[in-house]
């Protein structure tokens, strides 16, 4: 209200000053009287503001109306409009403005003001010829009456106004309380709809709020926990003392504080079981105190999933290791021993048996983690194979527990004093060839679905490994038979072949009769064919010895020059067939004698020289040797047709001919290079 009073006072001063300047006959007394009259009116209005009967929202309207009246008065005075016309015009203007902007009480006040005060100010010029004292009395009387009347009007029904203000204050308080209740209700619904448990507490750990999710997680209703201590509600008994002593530090802001940190703890349910939770505590500062909101999430499912994932990873890694170890294990008995041990590791069981069937009887039985006396019992009490095999055809994995003693195969539990046994079928195609068992002796323990899945994988891997072991064993036996056959046949063939070669030499030497040219050609053909057959038999015999592992090393210092002469002499028949091919030996005289097996080195060099002579029509076969820091290097090269690039990787394969067509020019069975490589 104070700025409004100052504005009205200044407005009246401006009006009076203008009137004084435009009417020279006006005296200073008029200015003083007009100012005093306006002051009385403003004092009445200010009193209304002070008592609260004039609402502050009306100040702008009052100021606007007064400004409009002042502007109109200035206009009227400038146009020399008579006083009565001025009063009438201002009254109409103020009535119109008050009707739209103010209530009826302010309208009455301004009507009085315009009808008395403004009329007095407007008619000052009409009384300027009066004596100063007379004019002063008139203005004072008018101003006094205006101020008193306006004050009475502004204080109209003060008691009713105060009661109205009190009622309005109560209404506003009720509205604020209602809005607060609505806000609390909405917040309550939001808190109850939260997925996490929300627990509010004070610095002493007493619960002040508890949402629906908290009741569901901990088992306590909201009414039961309000005002209760947190540690007695969901802190396990073994942690309560530490929680109580460390609560101030946990809720503080220094080292060891839990505020705004996500921690995982064990919590206590109402029924007594413990479960893992994830907890985050936030501080809420108010004017009076600090409260704490704890956001709690039950992470039991997450822990179970994590544990299952870890277990699955462990089993997957163990299964992969089982697959590898079984794949490199040879022999059925060794394989079953390894399988029993790996089964206990993968399934985390107390014992394991492996049993194979052969013609309806248990042929091989192995066990792991069994006391010696019980293992002897297992060996003696081999249960009938046919009932078990029939059952395993229907169930790949069979679990027996101590509740199943009256069911088929349930008698196994009583016989072997176990609580749970897992029987895994080992199959070959559709045939059950054996079983792998695993079990617990401790009552109450059982196999999880993940362990059963791992058991099936173990059964698959074990079945494949057993089948591979069987095939390898059959292949080994077949190879032994082949080697024995080859060795026998080679020996039996070499005996008559040596006779043929002997008579061939006699015929060539003319020991019987001199040979004609035609006869000599025929005898030469016989000799070539016999030598080829002899080389084939020798190579086959060498290969069988290599495969049988019957080659022994006889180390000695070897004179390579003498060895070369022997090889050249033994390859003379082939050199005669290739007159345009020479064997060139490049062996230094001072070459150190290598320590090696002379006979095997001779076979290697001879095979390479024969191979060079065979595939060279014109040129030479070069045998060169040189000394290296680590020994002696021997190289055999020829100027023949060479080896195709696409055949370099397979040239050392046994029985492989680069030219395998029926019209090939060069003989042999493809063992020379293979034997040379194997000997090296």
CA distance 58 to 651: 115
Per-residue pLDDT, 157: 46
Per-residue pLDDT, 520: 82
- Please indicate, yes or no, whether the overall pTM of this predicted structure exceeds 0.85: no
Whether 308 has a pLDDT exceeding 70, the answer reads yes
For residue 270, count other CB atoms closer than 10 A to its CB.
Answer: 14
Stretch among 43-47, 161-165, 573-577, 621-625 having the lowest mean pLDDT: 43-47
Cβ neighbors of 340 (< 8 A, separation 6 or more) are 352, 353, 354, 366, 367, 368, 436
Which segments of the chain belong to CATH 3.30.565.10?
Answer: 552-679
Per-residue pLDDT, 50: 53
Per-residue pLDDT, 476: 82
Per-residue pLDDT, 187: 59
Tokens (6 digits) for 584: 């060139």
Closest of 13, 23, 18 to residue 129, by C-alpha: 23
Structure confidence at residue 276 as a pLDDT band (50, 70, 90): very high
CA distance 436 to 495: 54
Which segments of the chain belong to CATH 3.30.450.40?
Answer: 313-546
User: What are the φ/ψ torsions at residue 436 (nearest 5 degrees)?
Assistant: -120, 125
For residue 226, count other CB atoms closer than 10 A to its CB.
Answer: 14
The whole-number average pLDDT for the span 395-411 is 55
CA distance 270 to 365: 52
The whole-number average pLDDT for the span 519-534 is 81
Per-residue pLDDT, 61: 52
CA distance 133 to 573: 173
How does the average pLDDT of the chain come out, rounded? 71
CA distance 45 to 106: 10
Cβ neighbors of 418 (< 8 A, separation 6 or more) are 351, 412, 439, 440, 441
SS3 281: strand
Closest of 313, 300, 354, 352 to residue 331, by C-alpha: 354
Query: pLDDT for 145-195, tens place per residue?
Result: 454 444 444 444 455 556 666 777 777 777 777 766 666 666 555 555 566
Q: Compare 65 and 557 and report the one with higher pLDDT.
A: 557
Q: What is the CATH number of domain 194-298?
A: 3.30.450.20
Stated as kind and residue range, the H or E segment containing 76 is: helix 59-78
CA distance 370 to 474: 32
Per-residue pLDDT, 127: 41
Per-residue pLDDT, 467: 85
Instruction: Kindly provide the residue ranges of all beta strands, DSSP E only, lying in 317-430, ordered along the sequence.
Output: 351-358, 361-368, 397-401, 420-428
Stretch among 84-93, 198-207, 467-476, 538-547 having the lowest mean pLDDT: 84-93
Cβ neighbors of 85 (< 8 A, separation 6 or more) are 76
The whole-number average pLDDT for the span 486-494 is 76
- Output Rg (C-alpha) for the chain, integer angstroms: 61
Structure confidence at residue 87 as a pLDDT band (50, 70, 90): low
Residue 657, CB-side half-sphere exposure with 13 Å CA sphere:
13
Which segments of the chain belong to CATH 3.30.450.20?
Answer: 194-298
Query: pLDDT for 6-52, tens place per residue?
Result: 545 555 555 555 555 545 444 444 444 445 445 555 555 555 555 55
Structure confidence at residue 637 as a pLDDT band (50, 70, 90): very high
Burial bucket for residue 4 (CB in 10 Å: 0-12, 13-18, 19+)? buried
Which residues share a beta bridge with 431? 428
In what order do the strands lie in the sheet containing 397-401?
361-368, 351-358, 431-440, 420-428, 397-401
How far the first Cα of the chain sits from its last, in Å, is 120
Residue 394, CB-side half-sphere exposure with 13 Å CA sphere:
6
Query: pLDDT for 348-390, tens place per residue?
Result: 888 888 878 776 666 666 666 654 444 444 444 455 555 555 5
Q: Which residues of 125-164 are buried (b: 16+ CB within 10 A; e: fewer)?
A: beebeeeeeebbebbeebbebbbebbbebbbeeeeebeee
CA distance 381 to 501: 66
Per-residue pLDDT, 117: 44
CATH second-level architecture of 313-546? 2-Layer Sandwich (3.30)
Query: pLDDT for 211-268, tens place per residue?
Result: 888 888 899 998 898 988 888 888 888 888 888 777 777 776 655 567 888 888 899 9
The whole-number average pLDDT for the span 386-406 is 58
Per-residue pLDDT, 386: 57
User: What are the φ/ψ torsions at residue 146 (nearest 5 degrees)?
Assistant: -65, -45
Per-residue pLDDT, 309: 86
Query: pLDDT for 100-134, tens place per residue?
Result: 544 444 444 444 444 444 444 444 444 444 444 44
Stretch among 180-184, 484-488, 584-588 having the lowest mean pLDDT: 180-184
CA distance 188 to 637: 97
Whether 210 has a pLDDT exceeding 60, the answer reads yes
Fold of the CATH domain 552-679: Heat Shock Protein 90 (3.30.565)
SS3 484: helix
Q: Pairing state of beta strands 274-285 and 290-298?
A: antiparallel
Any idea what the Cα angle at residue 620 is, between residues 615 and 625, rounded to 5°?
105
CA distance 257 to 251: 6
Asked if residue 466 lies in contact with residue 332, where contact means CB atoms within 8 angstroms, the answer is: yes
Per-residue pLDDT, 122: 43
């Amino acid at each position: 209200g104070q700025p409004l009073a100052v504005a009205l006072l200044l407005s009246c001063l401006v009006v009076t000053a203008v009137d004084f300047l435009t009417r020279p006959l006006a005296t200073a007394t008029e200015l003083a009287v007009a100012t005093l009259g306006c002051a009385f009116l403003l004092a009445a209005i200010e009193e209304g503001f002070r008592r609260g009967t004039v609402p502050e929202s009306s100040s702008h309207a009052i100021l606007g109306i007064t400004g409009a009246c002042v502007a109109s008065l200035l206009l009227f005075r400038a146009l020399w409009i008579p006083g009565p016309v001025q009063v009438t015009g201002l009254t109409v203007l103020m009535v119109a403005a008050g009707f739209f902007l103010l209530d009826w009480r302010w309208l009455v006040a301004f009507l009085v003001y315009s009808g008395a005060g403004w009329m007095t100010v407007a008619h000052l010029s009409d009384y300027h010829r009066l004596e100063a004292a007379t004019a002063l009395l008139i203005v004072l009387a008018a101003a006094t009456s205006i101020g008193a009347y306006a004050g009475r009007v502004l204080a109209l029904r003060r008691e009713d106004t105060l009661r109205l203000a009190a009622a309005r204050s109560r209404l506003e308080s009720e509205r604020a309380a209602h809005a607060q209740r609505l806000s609390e209700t909405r917040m309550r619904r939001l808190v109850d709809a939260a997925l996490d448990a929300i627990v509010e507490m004070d610095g002493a750990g007493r619960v002040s709020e508890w949402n629906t999710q908290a009741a569901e997680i901990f088992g306590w209703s909201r009414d039961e926990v309000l005002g209760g201590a947190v540690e007695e509600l969901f802190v396990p008994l073994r942690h309560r003392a530490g929680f109580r002593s460390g609560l101030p530090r946990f809720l503080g802001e220094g080292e060891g504080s839990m505020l705004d940190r996500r921690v995982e703890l064990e919590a206590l349910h109402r029924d007594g079981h413990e479960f893992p939770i994830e907890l985050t505590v936030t501080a809420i500062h108010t004017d009076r105190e600090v409260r704490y909101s704890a956001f709690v999430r039950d992470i039991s499912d997450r822990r179970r999933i994590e544990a299952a994932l870890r277990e699955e990873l462990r089993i997957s890694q163990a299964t992969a290791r089982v697959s590898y170890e079984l794949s490199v294990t040879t022999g059925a008995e060794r394989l079953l021993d390894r399988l029993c041990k790996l089964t206990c590791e993968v399934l985390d069981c107390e014992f394991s048996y492996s049993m194979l069937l052969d013609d309806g009887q248990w042929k091989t039985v192995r066990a792991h983690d069994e006391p010696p006396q019980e293992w002897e019992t297992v060996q003696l009490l081999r249960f009938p194979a046919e009932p078990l095999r029939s059952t395993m055809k229907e169930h790949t994995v069979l679990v027996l527990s101590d509740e199943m003693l009256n069911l088929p195969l349930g008698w196994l539990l009583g016989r072997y004093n176990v609580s749970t046994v897992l029987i895994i079928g080992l199959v070959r195609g559709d045939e059950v060839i054996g079983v792998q068992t695993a079990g617990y002796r401790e009552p109450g323990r059982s196999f999880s679905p993940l362990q059963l899945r791992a058991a099936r994988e173990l059964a698959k891997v074990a079945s494949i490994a057993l089948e591979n072991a069987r095939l390898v064993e059959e292949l080994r036996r077949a190879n032994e038979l082949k080697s024995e056959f080859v060795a026998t046949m080679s020996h039996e063939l070499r005996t008559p072949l040596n006779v043929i070669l002997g008579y061939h030499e006699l015929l060539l030497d003319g020991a019987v009769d001199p040979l004609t040219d035609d006869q000599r050609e025929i005898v030469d053909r016989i000799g070539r064919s016999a030598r080829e057959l002899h080389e084939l038999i020798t190579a086959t015999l060498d290969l069988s010895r290599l495969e049988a592992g019957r080659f022994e090393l006889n180390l000695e210092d070897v004179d390579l020059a003498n060895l070369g002469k022997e090889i050249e002499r033994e390859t003379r028949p082939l050199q005669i067939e290739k007159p345009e091919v020479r064997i060139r030996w490049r062996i230094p005289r001072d070459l150190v004698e290598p320590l090696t097996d002379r006979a095997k080195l001779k076979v290697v060099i001879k095979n390479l020289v024969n191979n060079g002579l065979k595939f060279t029509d014109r040129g030479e076969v070069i045998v060169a040797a040189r000394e290296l820091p680590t020994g002696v290097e021997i190289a055999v090269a020829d100027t023949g047709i060479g080896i195709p690039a696409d055949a370099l990787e397979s040239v050392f394969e046994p029985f492989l001919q680069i030219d395998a067509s029926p019209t090939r020019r060069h003989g042999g069975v493809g063992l020379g290079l293979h034997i040379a490589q194997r000997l090296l």
